């Protein structure tokens, strides 16, 4: 590879041709402050519009300052990142941004996690000499995402996430000059757009412009209401990330502490979504085998491949963008909704209470789950199966509010019967996990033989689109995996055009799967955090005494006592759903 030599802050640097000044400086330990720039390794997310102008540096011989994130190194360049001219320009640019930003840091949801705030601190901005009009835009409060565009700094990360990574394409800059802002078409609310509520825009937003809809106080209200029995379920990916909110190393598993904290918060029953994940495998796995065996016996009307349906943003995505394929995904509800349906039927019956007197709260790494829980088909006579879905971040906020010293909590177990889970349920949290869990069960049911090995490492990893063929005792089963909706789109196009020969495909909307969900602690662009969370998930799986869903004793019991058989009559009523054509059609 061709290299170039240059000088940065009087130090000689040799870098590969094409390296930006920002990266070249980083290689010698000079971290040039930046704001709009963001690159997520292992995904195709790179946001560098060169718009904020915070990273400007002085290049000798150049008339004006150069944006370090966008300027490639060239031979013999002499660069100074910290001259008075640069410092003054950088501060002035920051003062300008702050002059058009609300000063409500004290009560902003992003306070402490705001990149604008930390940069202002880093640069030591103590006053804003440029005073004037501040922008005000129409607020947007969808069931999952709150957009307060008064706080938008036009970094365009959300646009990149929505348009390039997710290929959802509902966000774009509108208006000109001082009035320009990122918005939906015609400034419609997100829930009138094709938004999937994946929350990846929220995950990358540097300020408080994009945040989740906060349900924490509604949950508190339910907990203190003596008439209500409040049941909480926690998704697999939450336990691998919650600790970060309390200063723990990324990848620290806090399953036991989390259960303890939830109990301390006053939930009546602390259950695990992993239980419902095992249930999902029973239903989805059965559906897969049913379709597969029909197909193998010559019924070509059967729809293959089967697509997983546990990711609500993915469901929104195909309802909006591929409605003609809505018969292909599994009809199995997501674990969150299966849990709600079972809790408000089977478990409410057990407690001998009316379903209206039970409040089901879910703790999710996800913002789309908030939307999913409001879908009308997931409620009975106006009573939703899942009343409130809160994010990992919201749970952390609740724990802090309740003055619980999370780090020193002793480990506790989940309650039974909806708290027991297997390793298969846990790995739902990482990309490839759902399909691996399904394979573990489907293999044994199909071949009637015990699995020779439980770890399907060929299904794991961070590659955006992966495929593998699993040998079902002589029957090759082709598996496809995509995470990130842009990758999902590619895979789907191949299915649509008949190019692919997959039997089953797992799709997760968020890069990395649920561990990288829109409701997780902010990663601030550090993708190592996601890898550590994934490792934690697989560690928990490895340590579990039972690692196959169909061996979960409480699942076995649930079918014996209540449901009958997988994909049976009651299962269909409670655990399966159907999809809608939500494509936006332009009428001219």
Partner 1 sequence: MAKFKNHILVCAGTGCRASQSELIVENLNRAIEDNNLGDEVQVVRTGCFGFCEKGPVVKMMPDNTFYVQVTPADASELVTEHIVKGRKVNRLLYVDPDSHKVISDSKEMGFYKKQIRIALRNCGFINPENVDEYIARDGYAALGKALTEMTPEQVIKEIIDSGLRGRGGGGFPTGLKWDITRKVKADQKYVVCNADEGDPGAFMDRSILEGDPHSVIEAMAINGYCTGASKGLVYIRAEYPLAIERLKIAIKQAREYGLLGENIFGSDFCFDIELRYGAGAFVCGEETSLIHSMEGLRGEPNVKPPFPSESGYKGKPTNVNNVETYANIPVILLNGSKWFSAIGTEKSKGTKVFALAGKVNNVGLIEVPMGTTLREVIFDIGGGIKDGKKFKAVQTGGPSGGCLTEKHLDIPIDYDSLLACGSMMGSGGMIVMDEDDCMVAMAKFYLEFTVEESCGKCTPCRIGNKRLHEILEKITQGKGTKEDLTLLRNLSYVIKDTSLCGLGQTSPNPVLSTMENFADEYEAHVVDGKCPAGQCKALMQYVIDPEACVGCTLCSRVCPVDAISGEKKMAHIINPAICIKCGACMEKCKFNAISIQ
**Of the residues 284, 319, 420, 436, which is catalytic?**
284
Is residue 135 part of the annotated active site? The answer reads: no
Q: Write down the least CB distance from residue 52 to partner 1, Å.
A: 5
Is residue 193 part of the annotated active site? The answer reads: no
Structure-token pair, residue 114: 């705001």
- Whose Cβ is closer to partner 1: residue 97's or residue 260's? 97
364 near 336, Cβ under 8 Å?
yes
Is residue 372 part of the annotated active site? The answer reads: yes
Kindly report whether the peptide bond that precedes residue 415 is cis, defined as omega within 30 degrees of 0.
no
Residue 307's nearest CA partner among 334, 327, 330 is 330
Of 89, 195, 232, 265, which lies in the binding site for partner 1, with binding defined by CB under 8 A? 89
**What is the SS3 assignment for 440-454?**
HHHHHHHHCCCCCCC
Q: Which stretch binds partner 1 (CB under 8 A): 45-53, 398-406, 472-480, 520-528?
A: 45-53
Size of the site for partner 1 (CB under 8 A): 38
Is residue 571 part of the annotated active site? The answer reads: no
Binding to partner 1, residues 160-179 (CB under 8 A): 172-173, 175-179
- Whose Cβ is closer to partner 1: residue 87's or residue 224's? 87
* Euclidean distance between CA atoms 576 and 38, whole angstroms: 40
State the DSSP H helix or E strand holding residue 183, giving kind and residue range, or none if neither: strand 181-183
* Euclidean distance between CA atoms 270 and 416, whole angstroms: 8
- Is 52 near partner 1 (CB under 8 A)? yes
- Is 129 near partner 1 (CB under 8 A)? yes
- Whose Cβ is closer to partner 1: residue 22's or residue 386's? 22
Residue 158's nearest CA partner among 147, 150, 135 is 147
Of 53, 320, 503, 550, which lies in the binding site for partner 1, with binding defined by CB under 8 A? 53
410 near 260, Cβ under 8 Å?
yes
Q: Write down the least CB distance from residue 178 to partner 1, Å.
A: 4
**Of the residues 324, 377, 493, 543, which is catalytic?**
377
Q: Which stretch binds partner 1 (CB under 8 A): 64-72, 353-361, 413-421, 496-504?
A: 64-72
Which bin fits 167, alpha (ψ -120 to 50), beta or left (φ > 0)? Answer: left
* Euclidean distance between CA atoms 515 and 520, whole angstroms: 7
Q: Write down the least CB distance from residue 588 to partner 1, Å.
A: 17
- Whose Cβ is closer to partner 1: residue 176's or residue 499's? 176
- Is 80 near partner 1 (CB under 8 A)? no
* Euclidean distance between CA atoms 116 and 106, whole angstroms: 14
For CA atoms 494, 495, 501, 507, give the dihedral sign: positive
341 near 276, Cβ under 8 Å?
no
Q: Residue 147's beta-bridge partner residues?
A: 140, 210
Of 31, 83, 121, 180, which lies in the binding site for partner 1, with binding defined by CB under 8 A? 180
Is residue 369 part of the annotated active site? The answer reads: yes
In a 13 Å sphere around the CA of 464, the CA atoms on its Cβ side amount to 16
Of 24, 30, 67, 520, which lies in the binding site for partner 1, with binding defined by CB under 8 A? 67
Neighbours of 194 (CB within 10 A): 18
- Whose Cβ is closer to partner 1: residue 79's or residue 574's? 79
- Is 123 near partner 1 (CB under 8 A)? no
Helix (H, G, I), strand (E, B) or coil at 249: coil
* Euclidean distance between CA atoms 461 and 19, whole angstroms: 27
Dihedrals phi, psi of 80, to nearest 5 degrees: -125, 125
- Whose Cβ is closer to partner 1: residue 37's or residue 428's? 37
Q: Write down the least CB distance from residue 37 to partner 1, Å.
A: 12
**Of the residues 142, 194, 330, 362, which is catalytic?**
330
- Whose Cβ is closer to partner 1: residue 109's or residue 205's? 205
Q: Write down the least CB distance from residue 149 to partner 1, Å.
A: 13
**Strand 475-483 with 140-141, pairing:** unpaired
Structure-token pair, residue 429: 């949290």
Binding to partner 1, residues 140-159 (CB under 8 A): 153-154
- Is 72 near partner 1 (CB under 8 A)? yes
Of 16, 83, 92, 121, which lies in the binding site for partner 1, with binding defined by CB under 8 A? 92
- Is 65 near partner 1 (CB under 8 A)? yes
Q: Write down the least CB distance from residue 173 to partner 1, Å.
A: 6
Is residue 573 part of the annotated active site? The answer reads: no
Q: Write down the least CB distance from residue 406 to partner 1, Å.
A: 39
* Euclidean distance between CA atoms 226 and 90, whole angstroms: 56
Residue 414's nearest CA partner among 289, 291, 273, 318 is 273
* Euclidean distance between CA atoms 342 and 362, whole angstroms: 13
* Residue keyed to tokens 């030599």: 5
**Of the residues 48, 151, 344, 369, which is catalytic?**
369
Q: Which residues contact 236 (CB under 8 A, 6 or more apart)?
A: 273, 274, 277, 425, 426, 427, 428, 429, 433, 514, 537
Of 26, 70, 264, 294, which lies in the binding site for partner 1, with binding defined by CB under 8 A? 70
* Euclidean distance between CA atoms 271 and 268, whole angstroms: 10
- Whose Cβ is closer to partner 1: residue 47's or residue 387's? 47
* Euclidean distance between CA atoms 201 and 518, whole angstroms: 8
- Is 7 near partner 1 (CB under 8 A)? no
Dump the DSSP string for 419-445.
T---HHHHGGGSTTHHHHHHHHHHHHH
- Is 99 near partner 1 (CB under 8 A)? yes
- Whose Cβ is closer to partner 1: residue 94's or residue 514's? 94
- Whose Cβ is closer to partner 1: residue 16's or residue 179's? 179
- Whose Cβ is closer to partner 1: residue 130's or residue 580's? 130
Q: Which stretch binds partner 1 (CB under 8 A): 49-57, 112-120, 261-269, 528-536?
A: 49-57
Of 56, 240, 342, 424, which lies in the binding site for partner 1, with binding defined by CB under 8 A? 56
- Is 61 near partner 1 (CB under 8 A)? no
**Of the residues 212, 245, 287, 540, which is catalytic?**
287
Q: Which residues contact 569 (CB under 8 A, 6 or more apart)?
A: none
Residues near partner 1 (CB under 8 A) are: 49-54, 56, 64-65, 67, 70-72, 85, 88-89, 92-93, 96-97, 99-100, 129-133, 153-154, 172-173, 175-181
- Tell me the catalytic residues: 284, 287, 310, 330, 369, 372, 377, 514
């Amino acid at each position: 590879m061709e290299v170039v030599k240059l000088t940065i802050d009087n130090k000689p640097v040799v870098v590969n041709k094409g390296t930006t000044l920002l990266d070249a400086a980083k290689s010698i330990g000079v971290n040039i402050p930046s704001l709009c720039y963001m690159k997520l390794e292992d995904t195709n997310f790179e946001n560098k519009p060169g718009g904020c102008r915070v990273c400007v540096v002085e290049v000798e011989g150049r008339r004006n300052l150069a944006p370090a994130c966008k300027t490639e190194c060239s031979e013999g360049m002499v660069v100074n990142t910290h001259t008075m001219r640069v410092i003054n320009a950088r501060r002035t640019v920051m003062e300008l941004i702050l002059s058009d930003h609300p000063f409500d840091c004290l009560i902003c949801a992003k306070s402490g996690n705001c990149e604008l705030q930390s940069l202002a601190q880093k640069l030591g901005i103590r006053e804003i000499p440029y005073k004037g009009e501040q922008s005000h835009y129409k607020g947007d409060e969808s069931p999952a995402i709150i957009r307060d565009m008064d706080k938008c700094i036009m970094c365009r990360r959300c646009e990149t996430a929505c348009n390039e990574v997710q290929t959802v394409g509902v966000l774009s800059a509108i208006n000109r000059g001082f009035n320009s802002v990122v918005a939906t078409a015609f400034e419609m609310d997100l829930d009138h757009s094709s938004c999937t509520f994946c929350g990846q825009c929220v995950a990358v937003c540097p300020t408080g412009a994009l945040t989740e809809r906060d349900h924490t106080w509604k949950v508190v209200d339910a907990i203190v209401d003596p008439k209500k029995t409040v049941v909480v379920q926690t998704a697999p990916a939450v336990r691998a990330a919650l600790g970060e909110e309390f200063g723990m190393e990324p990848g620290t598993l806090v399953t036991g502490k989390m259960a303890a904290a939830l109990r301390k918060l006053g939930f009546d029953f602390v259950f695990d979504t992993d239980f419902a994940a095992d249930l999902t495998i029973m239903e989805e796995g059965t559906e897969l085998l049913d379709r597969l065996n029909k197909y193998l016996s010559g019924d070509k009307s059967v729809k293959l491949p089967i697509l997983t349906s546990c990711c609500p943003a993915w469901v929104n995505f195909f309802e909006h963008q591929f409605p003609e394929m809505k018969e292909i995904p599994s009809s199995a509800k997501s674990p969150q909704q299966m849990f709600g349906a079972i809790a408000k039927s089977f478990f409410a019956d057990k407690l001998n209470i009316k379903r209206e007197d039970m409040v089901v709260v879910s703790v999710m790494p996800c913002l789309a789950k908030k939307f999913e829980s409001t879908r009308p088909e997931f409620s009975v006579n106006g009573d939703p199966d899942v009343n409130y879905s809160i994010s990992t971040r919201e749970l952390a906020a609740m724990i802090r509010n309740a003055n619980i010293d999370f780090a020193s909590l002793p480990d506790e177990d989940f309650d039974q019967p909806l708290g027991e889970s297997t390793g298969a349920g846990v790995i739902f949290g990482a990309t490839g996990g759902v399909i691996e869990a399904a394979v573990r069960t489907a293999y044994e049911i199909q071949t009637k033989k015990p699995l020779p090995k439980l770890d399907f490492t060929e299904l794991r990893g961070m590659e955006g689109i992966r495929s593998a063929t699993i040998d079902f005792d002589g029957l090759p089963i082709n598996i496809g995996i995509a995470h990130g909706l842009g990758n999902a789109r590619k895979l789907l196009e191949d299915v649509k055009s008949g190019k692919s020969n997959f039997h089953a495909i797992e799709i997760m909307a968020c890069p990395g799967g649920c561990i990288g969900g829109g409701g997780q602690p902010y990663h601030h662009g550090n993708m190592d955090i996601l890898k550590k969370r994934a490792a934690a998930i697989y560690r928990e799986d490895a340590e579990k005494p039972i690692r196959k869903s169909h061996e979960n004793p409480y699942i076995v019991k649930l079918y014996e006592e209540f449901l009958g058989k997988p994909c049976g009559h009651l299962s269909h009523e409670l655990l399966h759903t159907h999809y809608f054509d939500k494509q936006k059609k332009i009428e001219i």
